[in-house]
């Protein structure tokens, strides 16, 4: 069985998941709403209406469907990430969308625990 170079470089397995994400540059600015295509302990791949160039540092809020308390069935997780991949998707309406690969640069212990719980 052969393995592609992108699979060889991944330190964490990815889970296909459609999750809501909010993100904005660390220095402030537009808050983008994104939807993940896949997620791992190391990062995520998503579609966004907002454009962020590669190497942009982002504050990211993931909404995970895990039981955090008796009253709710989702939990928000805040992490820091950097855009490592960007692809422009053109549509017939003239509005561009973007596929972004984000690498997590800072995940605190609570966020790590929630991500692990979701990915398991």
pLDDT bracket for residue 3 (50, 70, 90): very low
**Confidence at residue 67, expressed as pLDDT on a 0 to 100 scale:** 65
Task: Inform me whether the pLDDT recorded for 17 exceeds 60.
Answer: yes
Q: What percent of the chain has pLDDT over 70?
A: 85
- The domain 5-119: what is its CATH number? 2.40.10.220
Q: Structural domain boundaries of the chain? A: 5-119
Cα gap 15→39, rounded to integer Å: 5
pTM of the model: 0.82
**Confidence at residue 47, expressed as pLDDT on a 0 to 100 scale:** 95
pLDDT digits (tens, 9 = 90+) for 82-107: 999 999 997 777 788 999 999 999 99
């Amino acid at each position: 069985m052969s393995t592609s170079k992108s699979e060889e470089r991944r330190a964490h397995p990815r889970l296909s998941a459609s999750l809501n994400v909010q993100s904005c540059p660390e220095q402030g600015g537009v808050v983008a709403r994104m939807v993940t295509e896949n997620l791992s302990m190391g990062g995520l791949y998503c579609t966004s209406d907002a454009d962020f160039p590669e190497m942009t540092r982002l504050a990211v809020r993931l909404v995970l469907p895990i039981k955090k308390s008796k009253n709710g069935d989702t939990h928000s997780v805040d992490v820091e990430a950097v855009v490592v991949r960007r692809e422009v998707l053109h549509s017939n309406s003239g509005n561009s969308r973007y596929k972004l690969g984000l690498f997590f640069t800072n995940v605190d212990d609570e966020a790590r625990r929630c991500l692990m719980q979701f990915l398991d």
